[in-house]
Amino acid sequence: MKSARAEEPSVLGAGRQEFRVCALDTFLLRAPVPTPVQTSFGMMDSRPSLLLRIQDDMDGVGWGEVWCNFPSMGAEHRAGLLNTYIKPMLIGKVWNRPEQCFDELTRRLEILAIQSGEPGPLRQVVAGVDMAVWDLLARRAGQPLWQFLSGATDAAIEPRVKVYASGLNPTEPEELAGAKYQEGYRAFKLKVGFGDQRDDDNLRAIRDVVGDEAALMADANQAWTLAEAERAGRNMARYDLTWLEEPIRADAPYEHWTQLARRQPIKLAAGENFAGMPQFHAFIAGGAISVVQPDIGKWGGFSYCIRVARDAVAHGKWFCPHWLGGGVGLAAALHLKAAVGGEGCVEVDANENPLRELMTAPFLVYDGYVSLAKQPGLGVVPDLTACKEFLIT
């Protein structure tokens, strides 16, 4: 869990950044769902959400969410990490800016990450804290978080963010795609890696439902070897895919990614399983991937994902934040994209998620876009009472 070192004084356009956390509370929720989310490496038969709320010494509040989809008991473990390790490090100290907090927490956890063999969960809890810190600071400034991050001066702006319906399962995905099309979505991403014939049938069925004008993407979740990915990319090209996501392992040699980009015609997307600016910068500066997808709750929070985003935009890449969780993290991904702009869209899980629908206000998708509200911070205050039946701790 190598520490990320700040490369510039701040990612922020303007605003006071000093803060002192005096309380951290965690809320672990888990809701059963009738239709499991299927991937090439496993299934989610329930939807977890690990929220954290921080409070400063002026009664300011900020919310964050930690990525915790896998393994199935991962949310409980990450809640333990937050309360056992992060809380004592965070509370009571005056922090000059969010990046300082992110860097110090990461540095102090480096040996534990090696000893436990768990760099991923530790990165994820730090990312969730960073998300909450930025929410707190933007609320204190009375600005939407996208504006606080970007330094935009026009408070009347109501940004529109392009979105896509994600997580279409391999079992009759055209039904969900059709329903989401009626809701206003104009871009869709199918889970693939379930056999050539099944993937082909599903892509054809979705294309028949949403038409030729809609954007269609495929996500293999690292399912294939290099040779299998080359063949799949050539076979799937007939469906005019916007991108092919994680066709091979995220930690595959960079040369394999460049070879794959050359030997099949579909643009490649990756980033949800990257960690650290060096890895992101190497892929962004090179020609292997065209779509950059950091997950704000998995690594980096706002402090470093916005640097990834700006790097991607500067290199002419699409910036498409990854998210598959509850409403707080989704709001964060939308604000991150709005703060940076550029080409690309934000992932919105198309599957049923009671924790997302009950905890946060619904948003409307119009012709493929979502308009962000003008409330301070993330504009989200989770309604824990509405989903108390799913609250574990």
Q: Which residue's entry shows tokens 């609320």?
A: 139
Residues 47, 78, 384, 334, Cα dihedral to 10°: -70
In the chain, % of residues over pLDDT 90: 84
Q: Determine how many CB atoms are found less than 10 A away from the CB of residue 111.
A: 10
The per-residue pLDDT for 6 is: 41
3-state secondary structure of 65: strand
| Long-range contacts of the stretch 280-286 (C-beta < 8 A, 24+) | 280/308, 280/311, 281/311, 282/254, 283/254, 283/257, 284/308, 284/311, 284/312, 284/315, 284/317, 285/315, 286/254, 286/258
Alpha-carbon span 280 to 321, nearest angstrom: 13
Which residue, 271, 280, 281, 282, is CA-closest to 344?
A: 271
Which tokens in the block code for residue 22? 């005096």
* 329 within 8 A of 323, measured Cβ to Cβ: yes
Distances (CA, A) of 271 to 51, 292, 295, 329, 359: 23, 6, 7, 17, 28
What's the Cα-to-Cα distance from 81 to each of 46, 70, 130, 135, 264, rounded to whole Å? 21, 15, 15, 21, 42
Instruction: Give residue for tokens 């009375």.
Output: 142
pLDDT at 72: 81
Give the chain's domains with CATH numbers.
19-143 (3.30.390.10), 160-386 (3.20.20.120)
Quote the pLDDT of residue 50.
97
Q: Are 204 and 198 in contact (CB under 8 A)?
A: no
Give the phi and the psi of residue 29 in degrees, each rounded to 5: -125, 150
Q: What is the pLDDT of residues 194-231, one digit of tens each?
A: 999 999 999 999 999 999 999 999 999 999 999 999 99
CA separation for the pair 118, 121 (Å, rounded): 6
pLDDT tens digits for range 17-72? 899 999 999 999 999 987 878 777 777 888 999 999 999 999 999 999 999 998 88
The pLDDT value recorded for residue 2 is 54
Contact (CB, 8 A) for 311 and 284: yes
Return the closest-CA partner of residue 49 out of 71, 66, 73.
66
Q: What is the DSSP string of 338-374?
A: HHH-SS--EEEE-S--HHHHHHS-----BTTEEEPP-
pLDDT on residue 9 = 44
pLDDT at 12 (0 to 100): 55
Q: What pLDDT, on a 0 to 100 scale, did the predictor assign at position 10?
A: 57
Low-confidence ranges of the chain (pLDDT < 70): 1-15, 155-156
Close Cβ partners of 253 (under 8 Å, ≥ 6 residues apart): none
* Whether the Cβ atoms of residue 6 and residue 99 lie closer than 8 Å to each other: yes
